[in-house]
Structure 1
Amino acid sequence: MAVFSYRYDAHLVPGLIENLEPIADGWIAYDDRGSGEIFSSEPARRRALLGAAFEAGADWILAMDPDERLENAVADRIGELTSRSRRVVWGFHTLEMYTPASYRIDGAWGQKMQHRLFHAYHPDRYRSPDLHGAWFPEDLGLKLRDSGLNLYHLKMIEPKRRTARRDLYNHLDPDRLHQDIGYDYLADDSGAVLETIPPGREYFPVHSDDGGLWMADVSTVPRA
């Protein structure tokens, strides 16, 4: 069962669902468009999704965002991954796209991984910091494993979104309590090295960027 929430990126949901159709048996979405905050509680949204998937009888959960796409090969491997131990969380190499067909690989950019495929559990056990937390608590005793598969993040394609993403997280976490490296690097393109998606590692559907912001614009938020 795939789960995701959407708000500023609602228009990307059809593409995500198309990407997930060969992979997941179904999906559950959290519509956050009614929130009055610029960035609603991430743990609250995740807990709601985990609970809905658990109540629906999901065996495994695949956590996604509307601006993400899994490589096509995941469809061929998903049965193998979910037939193994339930004490495992599968990670995907997370590649920040700078064009619809190429991603950044220099420095930390080529080392990112997100663990998103895990066995369903009761939402009462979920605990997470306000930002950048895992989808599962450490006390579940799950082992982190590398699937060897790619997850493509589309948000960074548009330069103004790199700047907006930096500004949003600096606004939400000004003291860098949730990420030691901080967020300025998100808009720093110096020394960028890009790599084209190799044959056989493509994602579907093909992305055509609309140049939109896809997130809150904190430049319009009055300073305290």
Structure 2
Amino acid sequence: MFSYRYDAHLVPDLLANLDPIVDGWVAYDDRAADGIFSDEPQRRRALIAAACDAGAAWVLAMDPDERLENAVAGRIGQLTGGSRRNAWGFRLREMYTPASYRVDGVWGLKMQHRLFRAYHPDRYRSPVLHGAWFPEDAGFNLRDSGLNLYHLKMIEPKRRSARRDLYNHLDPDRRMQPIGYDYLADESGAVLEAVPAGREYFPVHSDDGGLWMADLSVNEQG
């Protein structure tokens, strides 16, 4: 399940990536939203409700600018065949080129728990930004799948700066993330690691150089 707005053009490749992994998908079309960033908890609650209505036992939460490594297709049965109390995490790899990701400092420690059993949407609670896809009292055991989730947004340098500026605008007091957001565009000490052989993702990404998010400079001029 996923929502899309500024990144709608990335959806076909996301679906190609997910095709060997999932039995079906639900999406939230956010293109008619007002403002630069719509209500994320509302979108997520709607997606969880749609997944439940579709009869999903497990859900996999994604964004259009993300790709799972190909090996997930061969492991998905094992991951979902065990305890339904598990919420499986993927190692978030912030791509700096289509074939390499950043690993220094906090960059090498990011984890996203995106695969979990479906639950009633009324139970969903989350902060406005950066929340998990399920409440803390859902009773899930947080597990590490050892598999990679590749985030393509950071490939283009101007998107790193735009992402920093967007989150500084949305969370100027850093209430949602104490570390702040300036680090997103700070390339000092950057260490990149190539995607290892056998851990590639499909389809191969060719970057269009677009922004894939709200352009604050345009909004400020308007």
Length-normalised TM-score, structure 1: 0.98
Q: Which residue of 2 aligns with 1:125?
A: 123
Identity among equivalent pairs (%): 78
Q: 2 CA distance for matches of 1:26 and 1:124?
A: 22
Q: Which residue of 2 aligns with 1:37?
A: 35
Q: Which residue of 2 aligns with 1:152?
A: 150
Q: Which residue of 2 aligns with 1:98?
A: 96
Residue type at the aligned position of 2:13:
G
Q: 2 CA distance for matches of 1:124 and 1:12?
A: 30
Q: Which residue of 1 aligns with 2:133?
A: 135
Q: 2 CA distance for matches of 1:178 and 1:74?
A: 31
Q: In the TM superposition, what are the counterparts of 1:145-184 in structure 2 within 5 Å? A: 145-184=143-182
Secondary structure of the residue aligned to 1:103 is strand
Q: 1 CA distance for matches of 2:22 and 2:189?
A: 38
Q: CA RMSD in A?
A: 0.8
1:108 aligns with 2:120: no
Secondary structure of the residue aligned to 1:94 is strand
Task: Give 1:222 shift.
Answer: 3.2
Q: 1 CA distance for matches of 2:168 and 2:218?
A: 14
Secondary structure of the residue aligned to 2:84 is coil
From 37, 49, 52, the counterpart of 1:51: 49
Task: Give 1:218 shift.
Answer: 1.3
Q: 1 CA distance for matches of 2:82 and 2:215?
A: 43
Task: Give 1:27 shift.
Answer: 0.6
From 13, 16, 19, the counterpart of 1:15: 13
Length-normalised TM-score, structure 2: 0.98
Task: Give 1:140 shift.
Answer: 1.0
Alpha-carbon displacement from aligned partner over 1:122-163 (angstroms, at most 9, x marks no partner): 000000000000000011111100000000000000000000
From 183, 186, 189, the counterpart of 1:188: 186
Query: Structure 1: where are the runs of 5+ without partners?
Result: none
Secondary structure of the residue aligned to 1:222 is helix
User: How many residues are matched?
Assistant: 221
Q: 2 CA distance for matches of 1:26 and 1:46?
A: 17
Secondary structure of the residue aligned to 2:27 is strand
Q: 2 CA distance for matches of 1:218 and 1:137?
A: 31
Q: 1 CA distance for matches of 2:218 and 2:16?
A: 34
Residue type at the aligned position of 1:85:
S
Runs of 4+ in structure 1 off by over 6 angstroms are none
Q: Which residue of 1 aligns with 2:25?
A: 27
Query: Structure 2: where are the runs of 5+ without partners?
Result: none
Secondary structure of the residue aligned to 1:121 is coil
